[in-house]
Structure 1
Amino acid sequence: MSDQFNVVDLFCGAGGLHIGFERQGFTTKLCIDNNLQVEKTHKLNFPHIPFINRDIALISSEEIASFIDGDLDVMAGGPPCQGFSTIGKRSSSDPEKRAAHDPRNELVITYAKLISDLKPKFIVMENVKGILTMDKGAYLQNVLSLLRDAGYNVDYKLINMADYGVPQIRQRVIILGNALGLPVKFPEPTHSETANLITQKWNNCWNVIHDLADLPENPDFNHVALKHTEKNIERYKLIPEGGRLPEDKLSEELYRKNFGNTYKRLHRDKPSLTMVPGNDAFPIHPILHRSLTIREAARIQTFPDKMIFAGNRRQQGHQVGNAVPPKFSEVLAAFIKNELLKAK
């Protein structure tokens, strides 16, 4: 089964997408990203998978094709959104003109061109929820138009990863497309906030991190607590489980402006808040007065413990926080594999 279907992972990051596909028997032919620490993480964990560390705009479809034997079954990846925040200020709804204002927005256009050239049977794109409202929705419609022009039936869905067994409330836009003439569908949720005849109850975060609370720190396991200031620790002590810092009850010495997500505490009986790599800190541990370690965040993101993340703590946090949870990508891969088998 391992050679039956193959996948190329663009903007692969720490590999959350292709981990799930490999669990479903896909062979990852190539991973691409433009980040030295991602490359180090890749070589630590996936030495058997070819990796190109380069700007995607500088990679030809012929070079990618050289890694693939026969047809390409799935091209996966989520072009990052760093440049998209300026889109709302652009008067043009034409993506080519807009890209001229901000070269980072060329990523999606380049991605669509590669898809048009390589003609994968299925395409998977993952992106943040904000893509829905960028340029009042025009940006996403332009992306879909580019993909349809490349010959794909394509659609999108806002998905909460908790609905697929990930112990985290994580909303992401998933764009799926195929060149097989199949209607575009998405996998049915397996979990929900309250269990019913069809779904299980959402997984809680405590099930996956409770055993790490008393584990000694270990840099080789990405399990090191941030060294918080005494003032921050005093603030953390005031945060109830599942709650946020009560700003109206702070003493003058503990008060400051702009308390963000790093001042929210997780609840043992609920999924985690979204893992985002903000300011080196993840949310506060359910019972300890510190933020989550990289390993705890990786557990919540459903990475296996054998995954080791390279770089300094900030770089590790960005790799973990930006990743597609492997548990979700495995559900997605199983769904796409079934679609591919039906089309044979």
Structure 2
Amino acid sequence: MFKKDNTSLNFIDLFAGAGGLSEGFLQAGFNPIAHVEMNKAASRTLETRSAYYYLKKIKQLHWYYQYERNEITREELFTHIPDAVTKTVINAEMSPKTLPDIFNVIDSVIREDKIKEVDVIIGGPPCQAYSLVGRAQSSHMNIPMDEDPRNELYKMYTRFLNRYQPKMFVFENVIGLLTARDGGAFKNLKAQLKRVGYEIDVKMQNAVDFGVLQKRKRIIIIGWRKGTEHFYPDFIPMRSNAHVRDLLDDLAIVERGHENDEYCLDYDQCSEYLRHNNIRTPDDVVTHHIARPNNDRDVVIYGMVIDAYARGEKISYEKLPEELKTHKNQTSFRDRFKVVEGNDMACHTVLAHLAKDGHYFIHPDRRQCRSITVREAARLQTFPDNYFFEGTRGEKFKQIGNAVPPIMAKVIATAIRKQLL
């Protein structure tokens, strides 16, 4: 993202998304060589985050804060950013046809920055093909699961491993990868990784065990070059004593369909959890506190769901009054309306489905009676308040829902860094 110290540890981020995994490695002291991401909005988010780190390094963050406050345009912001910074964000779909050009860009960065070797490759192919929802989508698109092209994206990952031979790699994905195609997908992945010279270990990890206030189970594959003494770190569970409300309560009340335009918050009012994890700092500008325009019927339902949660109960769809029901199917997705568990020490998994509707992520405050805002979703995922997401509201929700929580990523990165130093 900026001129690198060639004695520092570095990484390449594949299928980078909005950069949650990358953010953890940056916070742990790694330097990025490149990010590869096919989605345009997510790539722009990565570019903007690159600008943040560059301006932070040269102590010129006031330009970034002006952009967040909408005082200057994105074009004006990037007049202060060298082309070498944005060059490291490669907006391209990975395929056998595009890889040569992607390799050329990365090779030029390595040459220009005099990088001796790649220390770590991180990332994970889009997980939709391995998730239950993704499998359903394949059937709806009349694509047999075995023929879904997303199944083959892991081969792109191994092509990078083969070319750059990093000391270690981190591969994140949904648990469904282990059982997709009756286990064939994972078997093929292991064979490919072994073929390009890596030993691996795979474990299911839950974000809540890394200090995140969210139940989020994913598989984390960690690999190391054969013949080295590296290994899968032993992550000791480190659950927080905070509650989900500690992520939300200092943010201003926002009505449905509105955006809070108070860019500054009273730092003294934020929780210890936010401070300790550097999600909020005194200088941060609050952005993306945008609520979708929930209709009157949904607001009535939301109120019922919030009240039920306060009583320690849940309301399934079939128990709603008939006049509030709009779906004939009352047996599937019975918990389609769900509150974010503010009084608990972890909420349910934040999903990219937030881009479509917020019924599964209702704010726990009865006074607000709406689905969560983009910024609230980002906080549940432990993105810092100074993380700016590009794109439409839906695109921002999708980027956040697909991300690895940065706090979790930082713990993984720190453990790997200890092995490599």
- Given the two structures, how large is their TM-score scaled by the length of structure 1? 0.86
Match of 1:265 in 2: 339
Distance change (3 Å), C-alpha of 1:17 and 1:232: same
48, 72, 77: which is aligned to 2:123?
77
184, 207, 212: which is aligned to 1:166?
212
Match of 2:320 in 1: 250
182, 185, 197: which is aligned to 2:232?
185
Distance change (3 Å), C-alpha of 1:148 and 1:204: farther
User: Is the aligned partner of 1:45 residue 2:49?
Assistant: yes
* Contact 1:244–1:265 (CA under 8 A) maintained in structure 2: no
Kindly report the root-mean-square deviation, in angstroms, between the aligned alpha carbons of the 2 structures: 2.5
Distance 1:99 1:118 in 2: 31
- State the secondary structure of the residue aligned to 1:125: strand
Q: What are the Cα deviations for residues 10-53 of structure 1, in whole angstroms up to 9, with x where unaligned?
A: 11111111111111111011111001101221222213351110
Match of 1:36 in 2: 40
201, 207, 222: which is aligned to 2:246?
207
Distance 2:105 2:125 in 1: 19
* Contact 1:160–1:171 (CA under 8 A) maintained in structure 2: yes
Distance change (3 Å), C-alpha of 1:181 and 1:260: farther
Further displaced range: 222-231 or 209-218: 209-218
The one-letter code sitting in structure 2 at the alignment partner of 1:136 is: D
Distance change (3 Å), C-alpha of 1:100 and 1:266: closer
* Contact 1:127–1:174 (CA under 8 A) maintained in structure 2: yes
Match of 2:287 in 1: 221
Give the CA deviation at 1:101.
3.1
Further displaced range: 278-287 or 304-313: 278-287
Distance 1:22 1:329 in 2: 10
Describe how 1:1-344 pairs up with structure 2 within 5 A: 3-47=7-51, 48=85, 50-57=88-95, 58-60=98-100, 61-68=103-110, 69-84=115-130, 101-179=147-225, 181-182=228-229, 184-192=231-239, 201=241, 203-214=242-253, 217-218=259-260, 221-239=287-305, 240-241=308-309, 243-255=313-325, 256=327, 257=330, 258-259=332-333, 262-270=336-344, 271-278=346-353, 279-281=356-358, 283-288=361-366, 289-341=369-421
* Contact 1:261–1:283 (CA under 8 A) maintained in structure 2: no
Distance 2:165 2:318 in 1: 57
Distance 1:262 1:16 in 2: 27
Percent of aligned pairs sharing the same letter: 34
* Contact 1:236–1:245 (CA under 8 A) maintained in structure 2: no
Give the CA deviation at 1:218.
3.2
The one-letter code sitting in structure 1 at the alignment partner of 2:341 is: H
Give the CA deviation at 1:102.
3.4
Q: How many residues align?
A: 324
Distance change (3 Å), C-alpha of 1:83 and 1:267: closer
Structure 2 stretches lacking a partner, 5+ long: 52-84, 139-143, 262-285
Further displaced range: 159-168 or 227-236: 227-236
Distance change (3 Å), C-alpha of 1:211 and 1:276: same
* Contact 2:243–2:342 (CA under 8 A) maintained in structure 1: yes
Distance change (3 Å), C-alpha of 1:100 and 1:163: closer
Distance 1:167 1:206 in 2: 10
The one-letter code sitting in structure 2 at the alignment partner of 1:177 is: G
Distance 1:206 1:266 in 2: 9
Distance 2:357 2:415 in 1: 35
Give the CA deviation at 1:248.
4.6
- State the secondary structure of the residue aligned to 1:56: coil
Distance 1:99 1:284 in 2: 33
* Contact 2:223–2:232 (CA under 8 A) maintained in structure 1: no
* Contact 1:158–1:172 (CA under 8 A) maintained in structure 2: yes
Distance 1:73 1:183 in 2: 12
Q: What are the Cα deviations for residues 165-188 of structure 1, in whole angstroms up to 9, with x where unaligned?
A: 011101111110011523532342
Q: What are the Cα deviations for residues 164-218 of structure 1, in whole angstroms up to 9, with x where unaligned?
A: 00111011111100115235323423324xxxxxxx54x4211111112526823
The one-letter code sitting in structure 2 at the alignment partner of 1:272 is: C
Distance 1:260 1:313 in 2: 26
Distance 1:305 1:86 in 2: 34
Q: Moved runs in structure 1, 4+ residues, more than 6 A?
A: none
Give the CA deviation at 1:309.
1.0
Further displaced range: 263-272 or 3-12: 263-272
- Given the two structures, how large is their TM-score scaled by the length of structure 2? 0.71
Distance 2:42 2:335 in 1: 25
- State the secondary structure of the residue aligned to 1:310: coil
